[in-house]
Amino acid sequence: MNKYLFYPGCSMESSAKAYMESLNTILEPLELSFEEIEDWNCCGATEYLGINLIPAYSLIARNLALASNQMNPMNGTGATHTIVAPCSACYLNLAKADHYMQERPSLGAKVNQALEAGGLHYTPGTLDVRHLIDILVYDVGVEKIRSKVVHPLTGLHVAPYMGCMLPRPDYKHRWSDHEHPTELVDVLRALGADVIDYPLTTECCGGHMTQIGPETAFELIRRLVADADDRGADLMATVCPMCQMNIDAYQNEMNHFFGTDYHIPVLFFTQLMGLAFGREPEELGIGAELVSARNALAHIGVEVPVTQEPAGPRKKSEGLPMPRRLNKHEGKEVVK
Amino acid sequence: MPQMTDERVRAGLTREEDLSLLHEVSVKTAGVSHLEMCIQCGTCGGSCPAARDMDHTPRMLFAMLRAGMREEVLRSNTPWICVSCYHCVVRCPQEVHIADVMYTLKGMAIKANLFSDSTAPHFSQTFVDMVESYGRSFEFGLASRHYLRHFPLRLPGMMPMGIGMLTKGRMALTPKRIKKMDQLTAILNKAKTLELTS
Amino acid sequence: MTERVGVYVCHCGSNIAGTVDVVDVANWAEEKLAHLGVVVAREYKFMCSSLGQELIEKDIKELGLTRVVVAACSPHLHEKTFRTAAKNAGLNPYLVELASIREQVSWVHTDKAVATAKAKAVISGAVSRVIRNEALDELKVPINPNTMVVGGGIAGIQSALEIANAGFHVYLVEREPSIGGHMAQFDKTFPTLDCSACILTPRMVEAGTHPNITLLTWSEVVNVAGYVGNFHVTVKKKARFVNEELCTGCGICEEKCPKKVIDDVFEAGLGYRKAVYTPFAQAVPKFPVMDKENCTYFQKGTCKACEKFCPTGAIDFTQEDQLLHIDVGNIILATGYDLFDARQVSNYGYGRLPNVFTSIEFERLSNAAGPTNGTIVMRDGKSTPKSVGIIHCVGSRDKNFNNYCSVICCMQGLKFAHLVHERTGATVYNFYIDMRTAYKAYDEFYQRVLEEGTLFVRGKVAEVTDAARYSNEKGKLIIQVEDTLAGKQRRIPVDMVILSAGLQPRYDAKDVGKLFGISCSTDGWFTEKHPKLDPVATMTEGIYIAGCAQGPKDIPSSVAQGAAASARVLDKILQKEVALEPVRASIDKDSCSGCRICNGLCPFNAISFIEDDHVSDINPALCQGCGTCVAACPAGAISGTGFSDEQIMAQIDGLLMKNLEPEIA
């Protein structure tokens, strides 16, 4: 049983309840144990940072301080120093506070001055802040995920959508790439899904612009949905509550704005994992999405044989050979 | 802002260069901003998914910071359009903390009361108010307060979505409150007295 | 015996005198250091001038000075000048000490009082030290007139030819099957657009047939021992599996070989070769090599088609790698560069988007001898691009990759623009941060490309994508960039993208540097002795560098450096013997415990272990007097001439003014 400290974030209790419900179903089969941070507070999303710097970082750091107290083995909770966040914005804020408190010691000192007013302290670098999918790919492993699949998602064309705040800015160099990371693709492939080539995988969902500048946001949502539709996606898989909310809940308004008629459901990747692990849709919060996934999932309700032909061998092509793809985790190759 | 001399005003110059501006922004930004290292290559302006809605590209804003154009910079809508996607940040060849500089500029604009559109600053402030009251975000309270104030005309079009969110249990009508609200308030009150100066 | 010391304080114009009260310093030294033997102290505007030197020479002769301290700049600059002056006046040059009051005093202080006090301390230390100096004699060693040039690109070829033409023997070592280097892969060369092969191959042939050049291709240096004038080099000559005595270079083996392999080296992955191959038609030497990893016989045990068809029976599957031991007096390293791996810039899509090409791929594509016979086509091998975007600074001037400017990419990008324009008539865009065309006839070439109608966009490209946003972008590669001169983001759809990738040090440059006892800069290029005044020598005597191994440069500069390095080598050869600095470490065999700690520390491989006596020994010709072993020896058995413990302690006491006579109240 791998133990982790868990920071759910506000959305997991409300708009992203489906994420939480589906996450709960995959913990046990993957032998993961998440211990919620006692009395955690909101990370401030992207809003507080633009209002007032030290309070914004102090708000985030209270969570880090609480977590570092909780990780203390003297409290009898087991000694893990890894804190897992399922929301990309929360993950980034926690990671950012930890990183900048080190990079700029004067910031660290001021934040701790504020924390002391609440009897808390955080030494930057104490915790390892990681996102859920990082744990699943690099601790649990794609092979283990594959081994738990009882209902492969064969025939389901999924656009893998990583969003922006997960692979970037990547203070600790955790991800395979900042622009075209493979982690989500690998998980979805392990579930048997037909993962489409989705170059916009780390483009922005609009963030808070749905609230303050809807026209800007609608254009960003349109790009994502239109490209997914163009490339034949049945649905999009996401790793972040804000991405899900923006593309799902505002898709209708976006369609209205542009006079389009896109219908791309957005599910959390954990929901797809739950389905592949043999759970029922209702246990996974499926149905809570506003752009219904019912038709898309009908594809896997029946057994569909592999329809996509494997790519032909390269030597048959008349064209010029392609360079090999770079795998950053295999160490740097040298091109002479 | 430095006082204009009569002579310069007569010469048609409306603005005094404020060469301390770049340094001020750099100091107030979290981490080490590298702002002074900008080579004006435009990677940020090219990367930005929302650049078409900005009055200045981020690169141009940095040039204006260098030129000491305080008021023009703080009035710019650029920081408010920034969606924090960090594309520019990872691509910047000079490792400028662009997104964090945008946060700094927002804070400075609010303080100087220099933003041209209040929607964004009010949204941020409303969000922060909720967090300062409950310790958690409160989507229903935030949405209703924000939309009523800034997008009353958008509300009819958004009704199906709102109802959907409520009926599907994705939005609670009452806020959640953390247990040690006193502790958080004490921390934030102390934090509000502190500023990054070096 | 009391020494008679002269102290000479230099003004260095206002460099020193502006911050240090030089008159006060000289007066002080004459008065307060008299008890240590100072008989005269003078200040002068420029000590290094001939008048300044004559002043010292005159004092040595007339006042009978036995020691000299010159308080001036760093010993790096003028130690030799003043030692020579002393020698001219009949004083052993090693009885002269330089006190650096410029680099270590006047340039680093602003307060005149503090700087003056510190200058006194530095001089005091130097005086205390110099009276303990010993007269040393220079070591003379004969020079082997043979030279080794490592790397057979244009810089190495130039070096080898210069020396060979002067009548001395050269071993030219190249690890690929043929000499020629990167230049052999190019189509045209900027700014004159000469055909690269046309100007290069005559030089290759000359090098290949020169009676004074021994060509060692498919070979690598594996060990270097010895020192300037007397290097012992071990070269691994890899098995070619082709007998060079019998092979006529007819090419039948290559024709008959059934195994086709993507050629990652010469064709940059864009074309194919056989398992037995010569990389290109004009290869020198003409003998093919067999690629063991891809040869069907070596992998599966059957085939031998090459052997069957070879008319002279030159194929020899039993050949083994050979180690050759070669003695040379000097070595020139011209090991070149690696192209930046553009896959690392994932937002440019190389390796993911088929019609994104690197600069070297484009060179092969536009080369008449390349995989498409010089037809510029897209990855499908058929279509001609109607619009092409050329991106500058790929992997250069970028802290995420290489921080430096790769020098050649702007001109390379302009050259590509011209070739695309000329051969396809496509619309060409060049995307640049700053246009750097700073050599003879380069900016004129930029003008020419402007005139031809290439569209320039000032801005570092943010990304290349195939995700169309608008209908005119469908099926295209979209280049997203801020046009920084217009202040607007633009999306420019094109058919083909060429990445003008930067240059970087060879992947094994650090190891090669270590092998030859030279260092690399933080960026990884070989470090020259002086960045301006000694650009082809290194800190290790007898080892020279030329071409891109020293830093990114174009062909004219590489050729110039190759020739310059040869001139330095010829200078050494013609001196017939070389004087070595006598500042050396030596081991007191009675105190040495044989712990061998010093053995691995020596950066010049000068220390060996004598098993029979169980002690370490220093080869005085190899030792450069760096002092590492002296400091490391736990038994205190190693001492450096010119750097004895006594001298160093005395210098420290001097710096702390503990050598002054107590003031009489």
Per-residue pLDDT of C49-83, as tens digits, reads: 999 999 999 999 999 999 999 999 999 889 999 99
**What pLDDT sits at residue A73?**
61
For residue range C144-160, list pLDDT tens digits in order.
999 999 999 999 999 99
- Whether C474 has its CB under 8 Å from any CB of chain A: the answer is no
With CB atoms and an 8 Å threshold, state whether B188 touches A111: no
SS3 C328: strand
Amino acid sitting at position C45:
K
Per DSSP, the residues of C148-191 read EEE--SHHHHHHHHHHHHTT--EEEE-SSSSS-TGGGG-SEETT
Going along chain C from its start, the domains and CATH numbers come out as: 5-136 (3.40.50.960), 147-238+322-336+506-575 (3.50.50.60), 252-309 (no CATH), 338-504 (3.50.50.60), 585-641 (3.30.70.20)
Q: What's the Rg (C-alpha) of chain C?
A: 31
Count of Cβ atoms closer than 10 Å to residue B5 Cβ: 11
Q: How do C488-494 and C477-483 pair as beta strands?
A: antiparallel
Say yes or no: C397 contacts chain B, CB-CB below 8 A: yes
Among B31, B90, B197, beta carbon nearest to A103: B31
Beta-carbon contacts of residue A22 (< 8 Å; ≥ 6 apart): A268, A270, A271, A273, A274, A279, A283, A284, A285
Averaged pLDDT, B156-165: 86
Is pLDDT above 70 for C411? yes
Query: Residues near C252 by Cβ (< 8 Å), separated by ≥ 6?
Result: C309, C310, C311
Contact C399 B90 (CB under 8 A): no
Instruction: Report how far residue A181's alpha carbon sits from residue A160's, in angstroms, rounded to the nearest whole number.
Output: 10
Select from A40, A51, A227 the residue whose CB has the most chain B CBs within 10 Å, as the one to mutate to test that interface. Answer: A51
Which residues on A lie below 8 Å from B151 (Cβ)? 214
Split at pLDDT 50, 70, 90, the class of A306 is very low
Task: Grade residue C238 by pLDDT with cuts at 50, 70 and 90.
Answer: very high
Q: Which residue intervals of chain A bear CATH 1.20.1050.140? A: 2-132
Nearest-CA distance C559 → chain B (Å)? 32
| pLDDT confidence tier of residue A78, bands split at 50, 70 and 90 | low
Q: Is B91 on the interface with C (CB under 8 A)?
A: yes
Q: What is the largest CA-CA distance in chain B?
A: 67
Instruction: Tell me whether residues B46 and C399 touch, CB distance under 8 A.
Output: no
Q: Which alpha helices (DSSP H) does C241-340 contain, by range?
A: 252-256, 296-300, 305-309
Task: State whether residue C537 is helix, strand or coil.
Answer: strand
Q: Per DSSP, what are the bridge partners of residue C327?
A: C232
If pLDDT is split at 50, 70 and 90, which confidence band does A335 have? Answer: very low
Interface of A with C (CB under 8 A): 177-180, 199-200, 223, 227, 230, 317-326, 332-336
pLDDT of residue C1: 57
Report the pLDDT value the prediction gives residue A301, as an integer from 0 to 100.
Answer: 75
Q: Is the pLDDT of residue C222 over 50?
A: yes
Write down the pLDDT at residue C129: 95
Q: How confident is the model at residue A79 (pLDDT cuts 50, 70, 90)?
A: low
Considering only CB atoms, B131 lies closest to which of A44, A50, A116, namely A44
Which of C11-25, C267-281, C341-355, C606-620 bottoms out in mean pLDDT, i.e. has the lowest?
Answer: C606-620
Say if CB A117 and CB B189 are below 8 A apart: yes
CATH class of A2-132: mainly alpha
Cβ atoms of C490 and C480 closer than 8 Å: yes
Count of C-beta atoms within a 10 Å radius of residue C139: 15
CB half-sphere exposure, B53, CA atoms < 13 A:
20
The first and second tokens of residue C495, run together, are: 């058919």
> pLDDT grade, residue B12 (50/70/90)?
low
Q: Read off the pLDDT band of C663 (50, 70, 90).
A: low
CA distance B64 to C65: 65
Tell me the shortest Cα–Cα distance from C506 to chain A, in angstroms: 8
Please tell me the predicted confidence (pLDDT) of residue C491.
97
Nearest CA in chain B to A13: B170
| Beta bridge mates, C184 | none
How high is the pLDDT of residue A302?
Answer: 37
Res. C638: pLDDT tops 50: yes
- What are the CA-CA distances from residue A15 to residues A12, A289, B177, C664 (Å)? 7, 10, 17, 89
Using one digit for the tens of pLDDT, what is the confidence trace for C441-458? 999 999 999 999 999 999
Q: What is the pLDDT of residue C98?
A: 96
Q: How confident is the model at residue B161 (pLDDT cuts 50, 70, 90)?
A: confident
Q: A212: which chain B residues are within 8 Å (Cβ-Cβ)?
A: 80, 119-120, 123, 150
Q: Does C461 contact B at CB distance below 8 Å?
A: yes
DSSP H helices, chain B, are 6-10, 21-28, 43-47, 58-66, 70-75, 78-81, 87-91, 98-112, 119-134, 139-150, 155-167, 181-191
> What is the C-alpha end-to-end distance of chain C, expressed in Å?
29
| Residue A325: per-residue pLDDT | 75
Confidence of residue B157 (pLDDT cuts 50, 70, 90): confident
Chain mean position to CA C598? 27
User: Residue C634, preceding bond cis, omega within 30 degrees?
Assistant: no
Contact indicator for C190, C267 with CB cutoff of 8 Å? no
Minimal C-alpha gap between A321 and chain C (Å): 6
Q: Scanning every residue of chain C, which has its alpha carbon at the shortest distance from the alpha carbon of B47?
A: C462
Compute the CA torsion angle C577, C583, C585, C589 (nearest 10 deg): 80
Average pLDDT in the C629-644 region? 89
Where in chain A is CATH 3.40.50.11810? Answer: 142-301
Q: What is the CATH number of domain A142-301?
A: 3.40.50.11810
CB B59 within 8 A of CB C484: yes
B109 Cβ contact list (under 8 Å, min separation 6): B74, B75, B79, B115, B121
Q: Is the pLDDT of residue C421 over 60?
A: yes
Q: Assign C319 to helix, strand or coil.
A: coil
Query: In chain B, what residues touch C460 (CB-CB under 8 Å)?
Result: 41-43, 46, 93
Q: Is the pLDDT confidence value at C485 over 70?
A: yes
Residue B5: its pLDDT value, please? 60
Q: Using alpha carbons only, what angle is made at residue C577 by residues C571 and C582, rounded to the nearest 5 degrees? A: 110
- Encoding tokens for residue C406? 């790769």
Q: What percent of chain C has pLDDT over 90?
A: 90
Q: Which residue ranges make up each domain of chain B? A: 15-112, 119-183
Confidence of residue A290 (pLDDT cuts 50, 70, 90): very high
Any chains having at least 3 CB pairs less than 8 A from chain B are: A, C
Average pLDDT over residues C352-360: 97
Choose from A47, A60, A98, A165 for mutation: most chain B CBs within 10 A. A47
DSSP label of A155: T
For the residues B35-55, what does the mean pLDDT come to? 96
Share of chain A above pLDDT 70, in %: 90
For A205-229, what is the mean pLDDT? 94
Residue range C80-104: average pLDDT?
95
* Amino acid A332: pLDDT: 44
Across the interface, whether the CB atoms of A322 and C463 are under 8 A apart is answered: no
Task: Write the burial class of residue C412 (CB in 10 Å: 0-12 exposed, 13-18 middle, 19+ buried).
Answer: buried
Partners of residue C469 in chain B, C-beta under 8 Å: none
For domain B15-112, the CATH architecture is Orthogonal Bundle (1.10)
Render pLDDT for C162-191 as a digit per residue (tens, 0 to 9): 999 999 999 999 999 999 999 999 999 999
Percent of residues, chain C, with pLDDT higher than 70: 99
Q: What is the pLDDT of residue C643?
A: 83
Q: Does C398 touch chain B (CB under 8 A)?
A: yes
CB–CB contact C481 B41 (8 Å):
no
- At residue B1, the pLDDT reads 45
Check whether A228 has a pLDDT greater than 60: yes
Nearest CB neighbour to C269, from listed A323, A326, A332:
A323
Average pLDDT, chain C: 95
Is B124's CB within 8 Å of A39's CB? no
- pLDDT score recorded for residue B147: 87
Q: pTM for the full model?
A: 0.87
pLDDT at res. A16: 95
CB contact under 8 A, A215 and B137: no
Which pLDDT band, with edges at 50, 70 and 90, does B141 fall under?
confident
Query: Nearest CA to CA, how far is A114 from chain C (Å)?
Result: 35
Cβ-based contacts of B60 with chain C (< 8 Å) = 487
- Residues facing C224 on adjacent strands: C233
- Asked if residues A323 and C352 have their Cβ atoms less than 8 Å apart, the reply is no
What's the pLDDT score for residue B158? 84
A51/B110 touch (CB, cutoff 8 Å), yes or no: yes
Q: Which candidate from C397, C459, C488 shows the least CB-CB separation from B93?
A: C397
